[in-house]
Amino acid sequence: MKGILKWPLCIAAIVVVLRVVTERLGVPDSINNLLSVVALHFLLGPLYFAIRIVKSRTPRPYATLFKLIAIYVLLTRAMVIPVYWLGRIYEWPQPRFFGLWGPDVSPFEGFIGVPFVTAAIWIASSLIFGGAVGSLVIAVMSRSSRNAALGTPRL
């Protein structure tokens, strides 16, 4: 399982940068929303990890899955926090930066409160939802591979 996080983290970094570039170029939000780090750590990452775990027959697959999801979501959200800080400093108008700047927003709210509370919510949500989806994939794939190895027909 060594190196399993390398490519997902590289892809996340690329998505973070591309999203900022497209937003700054004025690309419509409907297109910008396709470049979503949330989709990566909420669904795609956990699915990828689960499939890799089953194919490599890793011992303690569920613990490994949750550990990988936790590390991945923490690191991807750490990539996003500086973008929120830039959004505050430069007062970017995109909807995802609402609440970071304005006459009624304190520096604490804009630099610490909103970015870190948002990160905490996505970390918890990704662990719960991504962990559930990934666990389901592990259970189904493990059962299928076990049945295939035993020659047991699927019901």
Helix, strand, coil % over all residues of the chain, rounded to 5:
75, 0, 25
| Nearest in space to 86 (alpha carbons), one of 72, 71, 96 | 96
Q: Are 45 and 130 in contact (CB under 8 A)?
A: yes
Confidence of residue 154 (pLDDT cuts 50, 70, 90): low
At 40-84, the pLDDT tens digits run 999 999 999 999 999 999 999 999 999 999 999 999 999 999 999
Q: Are 100 and 114 in contact (CB under 8 A)?
A: yes
Domain limits, the chain:
6-150
